[in-house]
Amino acid sequence: MLYSIHDKPPIGTSILIGFQHFLAVFAGILTAPLIIALGMGLSVEETSYLISSSLVVSGFATLVQINRIGPIGSGLLSIQGTSFAFIGPLVFSYQTLVVNMPSGDALGMIFGSCAFCAMTMIIASQFIRYLRRVITTNVAGATIMLLGISLVVATLQNIQREYQQAGEQGWLVLLLTGLVLASIIFFSRSNNVWLRISCITLGLIIGFIVAFLFGTVDFSVLGKLDSFFVPVPWRYELAVDWPTVLVLMPIFLISATESIGDLTATNDLSDLPTGDETYWQRIQGGILGDAINSLIAAFVCTFPNTTFSQNNGVIRITGVSSRFVGYFVAGFLILFGFFPVVGGIFQAIPNAVIYGATLLMFSLVGFAGYSIVASNEPVRRDWIIVGVAMVLGYAVSLSVSAMTFLSAEWAMILSFPVSTGAVFAVALELLLPMHKPKGEAQMP
């Protein structure tokens, strides 16, 4: 490490490295709320609010995470942002709720349910060592693979819809989607590490430029935005919807296990020991910080926050794990969030460009689930648990329409294959005998 966790690099160096961290997470933090808003069919104004509030909350959440206030926070250079894991369940829950109520009430129930789950995770964070014995690599891997598959399927359906709506211009939709996808793959395979880290941002920029040249970029959205963003606590009347809680809770638990992996990687890169009591205090504080940050996000009506693994790549490349740099990353997130025009430019990007990027990102989500299982030296029992849980999760979701005896609430819960598959994975993990002694699950 050029600068270790407690060092203070010169201001100029800190600003430069902080901006590099910001660029590494910027596209991801903006893409997640944008995709959720598109899936929900929200207005330009609502989408702008969600994007700006996501940036601002991510900045404040990063400050909480790196400072370690009492037991809260990891005290590591850990950047926070809106998690992709929540895209599928949030869109699914909203689409189910909005059938029977106005959009504002549905959003209020979404954020209220997120707040309840976050408060539950505040309690669960105190038992994080035991949580890992239930949310094993098999459970996490099966759930994340289901998330990736469901998101890829939804993205392909969105691309098909865009193609059909474009009529004679359908070829342009396919061109933009394919170009962005190919650009991201190209940059991700580059020998230049900065190009690899920035591959998503670069792919979106290329897609945006080509779309602009073809006249498909609509800047009229910028005229509908406020000049300055002001967070509005309780923008919607918060309420808890129990079916939504049951859909979201498994994702909160799986997201916590992913954060353990991210925080462990950051801990290792910071040249700190792993496995001792201090390490577990950092992990517990990090998960508690995630939960509190997600609770704050729900109160200002934006989506759950979690650790972003991209910053580990920047730490590895720069050799800087200083928490001091994190202040500048948080500052950039908050600064850009207070100007809606930043998110507005992102909103002006044609959907075909966005879907080209998310198609690859969601594919990698599914692959990450496979990698989690494969990293733990799996035996036949492990793949049986993963495979059966995934098949049952989808089988139940596809059979719900024929289960006329189910209440509307249970039909909603069982219609989402990810949370159902997670429950099956936990049950199979507990029921199937373990022939090979295995230690605690190790997340990558």
Percent of the chain residues past pLDDT 90, beyond the cut: 39
pLDDT at 435: 61
Tell me the whole-structure pTM to 2 decimals. 0.84
Q: Under a CB-based contact definition with an 8 Å cutoff, are residues 352 and 159 in contact? A: yes
Nearest of 302, 308, 292 to residue 123 by alpha carbon: 292
Other CB atoms closer than 10 Å to residue 406's CB: what's the count? 15
What is the amino acid identity at position 319? G
What is the amino acid identity at position 380? R
Average pLDDT, the chain: 87
pLDDT at 90: 94
- Give the DSSP letter of residue 82: E
pLDDT at 65: 92
Mean pLDDT throughout 205-228?
A: 87
The position carrying tokens 């596209």 is: 27
pLDDT for residue 397 is more than 80? yes
pLDDT at 441: 42
Q: Under a CB-based contact definition with an 8 Å cutoff, are residues 295 and 304 in contact? A: no
pLDDT for residue 198 is more than 80? no
The position carrying tokens 């590490």 is: 193
CA distance 368 to 85: 12
Nearest of 50, 30, 18 to residue 361 by alpha carbon: 30
Please, which residues bridge with residue 305 across strands?
Answer: 82
pLDDT for residue 71 is more than 60? yes
CA distance 309 to 368: 12
CA distance 96 to 92: 6
Terminal C-alpha separation, the chain = 21
Dihedral sign, CA of 374, 276, 262, 110? positive
pLDDT at 402: 84
Q: How do the domains of the chain map onto residue ranges?
A: 11-431
Of the spans 141-150, 185-194, 214-223, which averages the highest pLDDT?
A: 141-150
Mean pLDDT throughout 362-372?
A: 85
CA distance 56 to 298: 13
pLDDT at 257: 84
pLDDT in tens, 288-333: 999 999 999 999 999 998 888 777 777 887 788 899 999 999 999 9
Mean pLDDT throughout 218-235?
A: 85
CA distance 162 to 338: 31
CA distance 337 to 124: 31
Contacts of 341 (CB under 8 A, 6+ apart): 222, 225, 227
pLDDT at 70: 86
pLDDT at 439: 46
Q: Greater confidence, 199 or 438? A: 199
Q: Greater confidence, 412 or 444? A: 412
The position carrying tokens 């190009």 is: 195
The Cα-based distances of 284 to 131, 222, 444 in angstroms read 11, 42, 17
Q: Greater confidence, 132 or 41? A: 41
Q: What's the helix, strand, coil split of the chain in %, to 5?
A: 75, 0, 25
pLDDT for residue 251 is more than 70? yes
pLDDT at 442: 42
What is the amino acid identity at position 362? F
Please, which residues bridge with residue 69 across strands?
Answer: 72
Nearest of 76, 60, 114, 136 to residue 286 by alpha carbon: 76
